[in-house]
Chain A
């Protein structure tokens, strides 16, 4: 009998405001410990929270981007528990009235093994605003714990999905789609190393058609690879447990990336009673239609809309469209290059997905770090389009530009890459070759068509690679035909 895997994700996206959610302290990453911890961040007696509107705007933006309901009134609640990096002894979060409810996100699950690639829609239950805790530092303190409250109060959007995913691959596809989206709409920098985008996975297994199994929540998944590993490990563990006659207990487990295992943090019985109640220091959060409208006006064209447009308007394949909309930077790059050579969609797409992506991968760079700007690449493609350079010449320009910078025309000039399109010059060159290789010409004319490439090679070499290939082919064919 088979098992069905059921996964729901809780994603914490750090919102890209410059100050914290309830005070003016900076959210910049990497500062000396406690240098961004003001009176509110360290919860001095008497301090009070004041809501950062920028965080709310980002939450609204997200809600609109996933077609969700934006609550006209939501409420901040206190989640009470003691921990040294939680300075107030409670976290301000949202509980029964979150700011965003009922959205959805379409994901592309890539092909794997016998399964072809497919699309799927994952429902988003809710997204709510909350503050992050500080950090406990256990190293370098000789048996004591250091507390860094720089992160305390950083705004987070916790995005909770329905248990709609049926494999680790789907969970990863969903996490990636979400990761793209939050960066796309500019609400989160998506930096997973710095913890700006963190996933927890609720995993359970069941017999197909049966009610949901008992879930375990896997925490601390700060890369897509760990997410996949952790889910696969956890599923296997649950299946093994059930098949050997055991039962799954609701629990929270921690993924250990070094061992590739999950281990128990606490069971349901040990779970905290957080004693949620509305925070009396904050008024209910009211969002007017007007505010929603204003935020909607700032939303860029969303990835799935853009993708569909690329397919429809440009005739790109769904696959190409998805690659070119993998990030907003990528799409902007593509559109800027295309503006330089309007109409040459396929050439632009091929260059970006081919040369550019390959070179980025080789150098381990992100699109944002690409040393060649879209305008520069556009310059190269223009010279291909107007036959100034050949494709191979263009690749040389590209390599030079990547390494040294510069504009296409300057490089073409400096390297003498301008191709010869003067038919007189090409004809003279072909005549010379035909005269010098009478035996091969005879062979060709007696039916050895394969020799055509040989002549092209000779002609190209004679022109130092500058002959316009199409023209050359045509002239060669004519002259060889005799």
Chain B
């Protein structure tokens, strides 16, 4: 049952071979057993989950089921869910009970899915290893001394360790794709604007995008069908016709043109990852694809550009956490300024504070033009590179992360090293393009490697097709960590 696809689980539920309550309980028991070690979840609420499961069972018995009705889904703790503690991985929101549902949560509720719990994450989604979570790091289920990636590390771990059927994540610079790669699961960051950001706690508004994490492309398509869609409460949400992201899954790949950016295979890429990605590309040739070398000349600037723009937006987005209306307030302070300073100094962790300071600096009078405006210009150049590239190819492929999962503490002292672990994913966010990561093998350390697939705008259905055909031909995605 734990290895079943969402399709199979849905069939079993609709056939009443298992009830949603039983399935939910199965996962809750497994979470109770494994989560103390893995720390994938920050909050579980068996009562709330089982209540949703019972409601789902009613719908199932009445034959009113949606494909995801009754299926337990883990929600990244960045989404406000009414009545659920929503921490964003921060002490600042340690005791914050959300009084409303994020659009994504509402979509899952409407579909009759069960909220299985809120998954751990880097604080305010700022991190690539989950080490910045106030609630302790998530362990990589393949090797508990290794990081799961971040910031959606809890969701990636939960999917890999079979602590949920599927999960949600968010991706600002790689936060779905990189942990998916490091934990050996599939993850998709849609085109910016496809999934509403309403109720998703903002890190960098122009880059943040929610997406699904699951064990296969097929599952991702089902999840995205629930998550995507126009929402008038998010002004950046795109008004488009509803589409079925699973519609092209079965299409053969004959004639598919895969672009390989030469910049993604240069220095800094580990041999293990390079080898696994090259083997995957070879598999695609077998599936009928042709390979084109492309260039993304400005992509080398994506990390510095990102670390100007994302902190700039974050410094402003996180101003609302001031101890006045909700969230952490320092127990003692002398006056208003002292209250702000102490509450924020004590409520935020080091990485969050670092980014607030960087962001405040680059927006400051006298520096704005040199940093923020300049970065915006380069952002447009980076997007243009992709537009050029898509004249020659249909999808772009490369590594998701330069290495397999690194060990805890390995990059903790050097933020720049940590930032570089997102070197292949960040340009996609800057351009607003859809990107995904699927498992494509293992390194010599027996840790998973992710293949990144970058599509043109709104090409999610094609990307899922490309991933699914690979997953029909290989079994990397169905490997599970042993010995848990």
In chain A, what residue has the closest Cβ to B232?
Answer: A50
Which of the listed residues B99, B232, B363 has the most CB atoms from chain A within 10 Å of its own CB?
A: B363
B102 near A46 with CB under 8 A, answer yes
Question: Which of B79, B88, B198, B360 lies in contact with A48, CB distance below 8 A?
Answer: B198
Assuming the contacts A48-B197, A275-B363, asked whether A89 and B322 have C-beta atoms less than 8 A apart, the reply is yes
From A45, A82, A281, residue with most partner B Cβ within 10 Å:
A45
Q: Which residue of A lies closest to B341 (CB)?
A: A82
On whether the beta carbons of B235 and A283 are closer than 8 Å, the reply is yes
Distance in Å: Cβ of A155 to nearest Cβ of chain B: 16
- Judge whether B320 and A48 touch: CB under 8 Å: no
Interface SS of chain B: helix, strand, loop or mixed?
loop
Contact B236 A277 (CB under 8 A): no
Chain B 89-112 near chain A by CB (<8 Å), digits 1 or 0: 000010010111010000000000
**One of A46, A50, A88 near B199 (C-beta < 8 A):** A46
Question: Given A45-B96, A84-B336, A275–B360 Cβ distance below 8 Å?
Answer: yes
Inter-subunit contact B99/A39 (CB<8 Å): yes
Which residues of A sit under 8 angstroms from B364, Cβ to Cβ?
Answer: 273, 275
Q: Assuming A42-B325, A47-B199, A80-B319, is B368 touching A277 (CB within 8 A)? A: yes
Give the chain A neighbours of B320 by CB distance below 8 A. 43, 45, 87-89
CA distance A276 to B367 in the complex (A): 12
A82 touches B199 (CB 8 A): no
With the chains together, A87 CA to B326 CA distance in Å? 11
| Cβ–Cβ contact A46 & B319, under 8 A | no
Given that A281-B235, A283-B236 are contacting pairs, would A44 and B322 also be in contact in the complex, using a CB cutoff of 8 Å? no
B201, A46: Cβ atoms closer than 8 Å:
yes
Tell me, in angstroms, the Cα distance from A368 to B172 when the chains sit together: 55
Considering only residues 373-428 of chain B, those with a C-beta below 8 Å from chain A are: none
Nearest Cβ on chain B to A79's Cβ, whole angstroms: 10
> What residues on B are CB-neighbors of A80 within 8 Å?
315-316, 319, 363
Residues on B with beta carbons closer than 8 Å to the beta carbon of A87: 320, 324-325
User: What distance in Å separates the Cβ of A267 from its nearest Cβ neighbour in chain B?
Assistant: 16
CB-CB contacts below 8 Å: B330-380 with A? 336, 340, 360, 363-365, 368, 372
- Identity of the chain B residue whose Cβ is nearest the Cβ of A277 in the assembled complex: B363
Contact at B325–A89, with CB atoms within 8 Å? no
Say yes or no for B313: interface residue by CB 8 A criterion: yes
The reply to whether the CB of B80 lies closer than 8 angstroms to some CB of chain A is yes
CB pair A281 B236 closer than 8 Å: yes
- Residues 34-59 of chain A, each 1 if its beta carbon lies under 8 Å from chain B, else 0: 00000100111111111100000000
Judged by a CB distance under 8 angstroms, whether A402 is at the interface is: no
User: Given contacts A44-B80, A45-B93, is CB(A280)–CB(B201) below 8 Å?
Assistant: no
Bound-state Cα–Cα, A89 to B327, Å: 14
| B163 contacts chain A at the CB level, 8 A cutoff | no
User: Measured between alpha carbons, how far is A42 from B327 in the docked complex, in Å?
Assistant: 13
Chain B nearest Cβ from A250, distance in angstroms: 15
**Closest Cβ of chain A: how far from B206's Cβ, in Å?**
4
Contact B235 A50 (CB under 8 A): yes
Report whether B319 and A44 are in contact in the complex, using a CB–CB cutoff of 8 Å.
Answer: no
Asked if A282 CB lies within 8 Å of chain B CBs, one says: yes
Q: Which of B63-83 contact A (CB under 8 A)?
A: 79-80
Within 8 A of B (CB), among A141-169: 145, 147
Closest A residue to B87 by beta carbon equals A45
Taking the nearest CB of chain A, how far is it from the CB of B344, in angstroms?
A: 9
Across the two chains, which residue of chain B brings its CB closest to A149?
A: B325
Q: What chain B residues lie within 8 Å of A51 (beta carbons)?
A: 235
Cα–Cα, bound, A90→B205 (Å):
15
How far is B326's CA from A47's CA once the two chains are assembled, in angstroms?
14
CA distance A84 to B198 in the complex (A): 24
CB within 8 Å of B: which of A55-101?
A: 78, 80, 82, 84, 87-90
Q: Which residues of B contact A50 (CB under 8 A)?
A: 232-235
- Partner of B235 from the list A49, A84, A277 (CB cut-off 8 Å) is A49
Complex Cα–Cα for A454 and B236 (A): 86
Report the separation of the CA atoms of residues A283 and B232 in the bound assembly, to the nearest whole angstrom: 13
With A46-B201, A48-B198, A82-B340 in contact, is A280–B365 under 8 Å at CB? no
User: Which of B315, B316, B326 is close to A44, meaning CB atoms less than 8 Å apart?
Assistant: B326
Chain A residues positioned under 8 Å from B322 (CB to CB): 82, 84, 89
A280 → chain B, closest Cβ, in Å? 4
Q: Is the CB of B202 within 8 A of A46?
A: yes
Given known A273-B365, A283-B236, contact A90–B316 (CB-CB < 8 A) = yes
CB distance from B394 to the nearest CB of A (A): 29
Residues of A within 8 A of B232 (CB): 50
Given A50-B233, A277-B312, verify A43-B325 contact (CB < 8 Å): yes
Question: Is B194 an interface residue when CB atoms closer than 8 A count as contact?
Answer: no
> Taking the nearest CB of chain A, how far is it from the CB of B326, in angstroms?
7
Q: How far is the CA of A90 from the CA of B359 in the complex (A)?
A: 14
A147 to B326, CA, bound (A): 13
Chain A positions 258-280 with a Cβ under 8 Å from a chain B Cβ: 273, 275-277, 280
- Nearest-CB distance from A48 to chain B (Å)? 5
Task: Name the B residues within 8 Å of A82 (CB-CB).
Answer: 319, 322, 340
Residues of B within 8 A of A88 (CB): 319-320
B176 at the interface (CB under 8 A from A): no
Most chain A beta-carbon contacts within 10 A, residue among B93, B235, B313, B372: B235
* Contact string against A for B residues 185-207, beta-carbon threshold 8 Å, 1 for contact and 0 otherwise: 00000000000011111101110
Cβ of B86 within 8 Å of any chain A Cβ, yes or no, is: yes
Question: Taking CB as reference atom, which chain A residue is nearest B102?
Answer: A46
Residues in A whose Cβ lies below 8 Å from that of B312: 277
List the A side residues contacting B197 at CB < 8 Å: 46, 48
Take A277-B312, A277-B368 as given contacts and tell me if A90 and B236 are in contact as well, using a CB distance cutoff of 8 Å: no
Q: A47, A50, A273, A283: which has the most chain B beta carbons within 10 Å?
A: A47
- Residue pair B201, A277 in contact (C-beta under 8 Å): no
CB distance from B304 to the nearest CB of A (A): 18
Residues 213-236 of chain B, each 1 if its beta carbon lies under 8 Å from chain A, else 0:
000000000000000000011111
- Of A47, A280, A281, chain B has the most CB atoms within 10 Å of the CB of A280
In the bound complex, residues from chain A placing their C-beta under 8 Å from that of B325 are 42-43, 87, 147
Inter-chain CA distance A46–B317, complex, in Å, is 10
Interface centre among B200, B202, B364 (most CB of A within 10 A): B202
Taking CB atoms, residues of chain A closer than 8 Å to B233 are: 48, 50
Interface flags, B162-198, vs A, CB<8A=1, else 0: 0000000000000000000000000000000000011
Q: Distance (Å) between the CB of B358 and the closest chain A CB?
A: 13
Known contacts A46-B202, A275-B316, A277-B368, A147 near B324 by CB under 8 Å: yes
Q: Closest CB of chain B to A135's CB: distance in Å?
A: 14
User: Most chain-A CB neighbours within 10 Å: which of B201, B236, B319?
Assistant: B319
Which residues of A in the span 279-321 have a Cβ within 8 Å of any Cβ on B? 280-283
Instruction: Chain B residues near A43: list those with CB within 8 A.
Output: 320, 325
- Which residues of chain B have C-beta atoms less than 8 A from A145's C-beta? 336
Chain B residues, Cβ within 8 Å of A282 = 235
B319 touches A39 (CB 8 A): no
- A276 and B201 alpha carbons, distance in the complex (Å): 21
**Residues of chain B contacted by A147 (CB below 8 angstroms):** 324-325
Point out the residues of chain A lying under 8 angstroms from B234, CB to CB.
Answer: 48, 50
Give 6 new A-B contacts, CB below 8 A, not counting A45-B86, A47-B199: A42-B326, A43-B325, A46-B98, A46-B201, A46-B202, A82-B319
Interface positions of B (Cβ within 8 A of A)? 79-80, 86, 88, 93, 96, 98-100, 102, 197-202, 204-206, 232-236, 312-313, 315-316, 318-322, 324-326, 336, 340, 360, 363-365, 368, 372
21 contacts between A and B (CB under 8 A): A42-B325, A44-B80, A45-B202, A48-B197, A48-B198, A50-B234, A51-B235, A78-B316, A80-B316, A80-B363, A84-B324, A84-B336, A88-B319, A273-B365, A275-B360, A275-B365, A277-B313, A277-B363, A277-B372, A281-B235, A283-B236
Interfacial residues, chain A to chain B (CB-CB below 8 A): 39, 42-51, 78, 80, 82, 84, 87-90, 145, 147, 273, 275-277, 280-283
* 10 residue pairs, one from A and one from B, having the closest CB atoms: A89-B319, A275-B363, A280-B206, A280-B205, A46-B199, A45-B201, A43-B320, A46-B80, A273-B365, A46-B201
